[in-house]
Every structure is written in structure tokens, then in C-alpha cells.
Amino acid sequence: MRLSAGVCCSLLLSVSALGGRVDAAEVAPVDFSLDYRAADGCPNAAAFLSALQERLPGARRLATGESRERIPRLRVELRAAGGSEISEIAGDLPDGTRFQRRMVGARCADAMQSMAVIAAMALDDNLRRATDSAPSAPGDAAPPRKNATPEPAPGIAAAARPVAVTARHAASTSSNVPSQAGWQWATVAAAGIEGGVAPNVAPAFALGLELADSTPRGFAPSVRLSGLLAQSPARHVAPADVRFRLLAARLDLCPIQARGSGLAATACAEVDLGQLRGSAEHVPSAQPQTMLWFGLGLVGRARVALTSRFALELGASGRVLPVHDHFILKPAQPLFEVPIIAGDLLVGLAYSWR
């Protein structure tokens, strides 16, 4: 996907608003560490550093083997996943602030330029806050920072705002950089098969609402509440046609997740509570039977990003059913005994928003 002429103009105005080059001897270095990863054919780390230093001349990447405490730490990744180019930048600042931005669909060369703008803003904002918080003698005026980003002229303020370059491709990008990694809502619709509901596996459908911590990796808890419907097809057991239906609420508590290269994996504890109902047709005076459905189990999910908002999800779970009754057509003719172990396999589509 190519940037439009309007977006390219915004990028040029952004660079102009950042000011001309500054003599390196007059600029205090802004040290940071960088973990840069790029797919084949994408700009390398040297190109990113060059683009960053055009916007923030004092930016200086720590050399290999060099270690410093309390400096900004940036991670940039340009990759291809599922036929789309996905670019991400994340950072940890010395004051504990974290930020993360993602672009989907932009060419990696264009995305790298936008990542450089975001990095420059984050590093400059960190330097600004560090300077403002530094103690000074009474009456002393704070010296001007020659490597600071000058404020754009009022007439071109809207066009010169660097984040506007990325807004076309990344719905998650905001004008406040950096920002705190926060909680994210998602709606998930899924379909698949459910075991333990009938003598054979039954088609199942689930609709859920999820609240998840959007931290890039590690301990990032989430919780999901879903409604589940599983309906078995009619099965002929002479002289009747028998059906089983499960209606249940499902709560998933997920303490950890792992992310990388457009993929996410989550492990959860799961609780089911509902009703399993069996009914017979074409039998005089047939009475449906019901059973409390209560399950405790584990679920694992894998999610693949399709866009910045949509993701494809695959989940598999297994649970113990402390209540496992049996269904009968008549005293001498048992139909189905609910097992003590049940499970399911669901494929779904997730839509995320803040």
C-alpha cells in the first residue's frame, strides 16, 4: 500500500517543522538502546537510525556490549504476516512509561519512516520531562535544548504533527506519544464442535466479551465472559428421534500471554455453568430431561492478527464435569451417559477496540 500524496506532504511538513540540521558539537546526545528486527527487503537498523537522527540529531544508539541504566529502550519490528506487512514499535522509558504502536498494510519503507517519527517524539518527550524535573538554583533559567523538537508554526500545526503520518494506516495510533499500555476490549464470535453434550460431538456456537491487558508480552491478564450454545442433530433411537442441547455461560480467567510476529498465545482457567437438555420426538407423552452443566477446566488459544482490529482465533479446551448424569428413553433403554471429561474446539473472529 502506497502513501497518498496528502500523507507524503504531511510527512514533508513534519520534517520541515522539526527544524534544520544542528551542528553535532552543539547537541547533547540522547542515549537509548534499540532492538531492531526487519524482514528481508525492509530497511535495516542503520536506515532507521539515520531517519531518527534527521528528526532528533542528538539520538545515539548504545554500541553493542555497552550497557547503561535508566535510558529509553526501543523495540522496532517490520515483518510480514498473513499476507500483510505489520510494523510495531514499543518502548520502555526510565520513568516506567511504556508505549506501543502498530501499523498494518503500509509498505515497510514507509512504516519505518513513521516508526522513526514516533521514536523521535518519544525520546524528545522523555528528554523534556527529564530536563523539567532536574533541580536548578533559584533564579536560574533553564538553558534551551538545542536538540529539542521546535514547535511548528500555527499555520501548519495540523499538517506538521508527525503522528498524522501514521493515522492513515494505524487506527490505534494517537497523538499522545508515549502512552501507557492499557486495557483493551474485544468481541469474539466462534463456532466449532463440543464434546460430552451428546453421544456424538455437537455443533457449538459462542459469543463473548473480553477485557485484556495490551502489554506486548509476559504477564498480561485477561478475562472473557461468553454464552455457549451446542445443539446435537437428531439421532434416531427407535421409536424416537432424540436431541441434546446445551446452554451455558463460560468464564475464562487468563493470567499469561505470549506475543510475537503477529501471533498471540494465551492460557486460561475456565468455568462453565448451564443446563444440558435431552428431548425425544415422535413418542407419546415424552418428557424432556435436564442436567446441571458445571465444568472446571483449562483452555489454550492462538490468535493471528488480520488487521489492527481483527484477528483469527483458534481455541481448544478440556474440562471435568463433577455432575455427569445419564439420560434414558425408558427404564430399560438408556440413551446417553454424560462423561466425566468433556472438551471442545472452536474457531472464531475477534474484533478489538480500546
Query: If you search the block for the grid coordinates 520531562, which residue do you land on?
Result: 129
Does the pLDDT at position 314 exceed 80? Answer: yes
Place of cell 522496532: 76
What mean pLDDT do residues 297-302 have? 96
Q: Where are the domains of the chain?
A: 5-167, 183-353
- Mean pLDDT score across all residues of the chain: 77
pLDDT at residue 12 in the model = 37
pTM, to two decimals: 0.53
* pLDDT tops 80 at residue 271: yes
25 secondary structure, DSSP code: G
DSSP 124: H
How high is the pLDDT of residue 143? 52
Here the cell at position 279 is 428431548
Q: Going along 261-340, which residue ranges are E strands?
A: 263-281, 289-305, 310-320, 326-330, 333-337
CA distances 275 to 2, 229, 245, 344, Å, are 53, 10, 8, 16
pLDDT per residue over 48-72, tens digit each? 999 988 888 888 888 777 777 788 8
Domain 5-167 bears CATH identifier 3.40.50:
no
Query: What's the fold here for domain 183-353?
Result: Porin (2.40.160)
198-247 pLDDT tens trace:
988 999 999 999 998 876 556 778 999 999 999 999 887 777 788 899 99
The predicted structure's pLDDT at residue 340: 94
Which is more confidently placed, 306 or 19?
Answer: 306
Provide the pLDDT confidence category of residue 251 given band limits of 50, 70 and 90.
very high
Identify the sign of the CA torsion 153, 156, 158, 163: negative
**42 and 108 Cβ atoms separated by less than 8 Å:** yes
Give the total residue count for the chain: 354
Q: Rounded mean pLDDT of 251-262? A: 86
Measured CA to CA, the distance from residue 151 to residue 12 in angstroms comes to 15
Cα 287–Cα 292–Cα 296 angle in degrees, nearest 5:
150
d(CA 337, CA 95): 59
